[in-house]
């Protein structure tokens, strides 16, 4: 059953197909319990609760976004206070030039908070998932391509400390994988 269409012979990992979202969910629970770290699942649609089945912790993305948002707020308030209150006190519409002029600065603060939060979300996500990149070994696998149509795919990478060429293959068969494919770099 195993074939590979890659150029080198170094093993990247196994690609295993499951017949349904439910099977994949249970398989993920078992892989999680077996203690694997370097593995992932790919499905045509989001499967609710999969993060739990995979034992994924909380993403760091929210912390990055919080950092981005806080930077935006502070930067906006600083820029406005510094230029319009400290450097060159600007009287607009008889408003004071002290702390109590802060409502006038809220729209810009709000916008910059949102903007930098959005940037932090997008670029933080790209950084966390290590994109962009030119290619990925998984694209060598014809089986993997099915995930965007009707395949429920589980991938275990060879660099996982628990990965053993034969035993991992047996494990995958045992937990109900249909097709299993070896993928090389």
Please report, as ranges, the residues that interact with other proteins according to CB under 8 A: 22, 25-26, 29, 48-49, 52-53, 58, 62, 66, 93-95, 103-104, 106-107
Core vs surface per residue 30-41: b (16+ CB within 10 A) or e: ebbeeebeebeb
Q: Which of 110, 85, 111 is nearest to 98 (CA)?
A: 85
For 21, other C-beta atoms within 10 Å of its C-beta total 16
For other proteins, give the closer residue by CB, 54 or 183: 54
For other proteins, give the closer residue by CB, 113 or 168: 113
- Distance of alpha carbon 75 from alpha carbon 83, whole angstroms: 12
Q: Could you tell me the smallest distance in angstroms from the CB atom of residue 104 to other proteins?
A: 7
Q: Could you tell me the smallest distance in angstroms from the CB atom of residue 114 to other proteins?
A: 11
Q: Could you tell me the smallest distance in angstroms from the CB atom of residue 92 to other proteins?
A: 9
Q: Could you tell me the smallest distance in angstroms from the CB atom of residue 121 to other proteins?
A: 14
For other proteins, give the closer residue by CB, 109 or 140: 109
97 to 74, 81, 94, 159: CA distances (angstroms): 18, 9, 9, 61
């Amino acid at each position: 059953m195993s074939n590979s269409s890659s150029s080198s012979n170094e093993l990247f990992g196994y690609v295993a197909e499951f017949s349904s979202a439910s099977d994949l969910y249970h398989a993920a629970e078992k892989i999680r319990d077996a203690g694997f770290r370097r593995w992932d699942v790919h499905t045509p649609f989001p499967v609710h609760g999969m993060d739990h089945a995979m034992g994924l912790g909380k993403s760091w993305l929210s912390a990055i976004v919080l950092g981005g948002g806080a930077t935006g707020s502070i930067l906006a308030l600083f820029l406005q206070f510094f230029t319009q209150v400290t450097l060159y006190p600007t009287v607009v519409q008889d408003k004071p030039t002290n702390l109590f002029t802060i409502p006038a600065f809220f729209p810009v603060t709000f916008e910059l908070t949102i903007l930098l939060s959005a940037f932090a979300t997008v670029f933080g996500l790209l950084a966390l998932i290590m994109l962009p990149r030119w290619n990925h070994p998984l694209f060598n696998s014809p089986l993997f391509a099915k995930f965007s149509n009707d395949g429920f795919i589980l991938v275990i990478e060879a660099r996982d400390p628990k990965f053993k060429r034969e035993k991992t293959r047996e494990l995958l068969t045992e937990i109900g994988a249909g097709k299993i494919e070896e993928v090389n770099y």
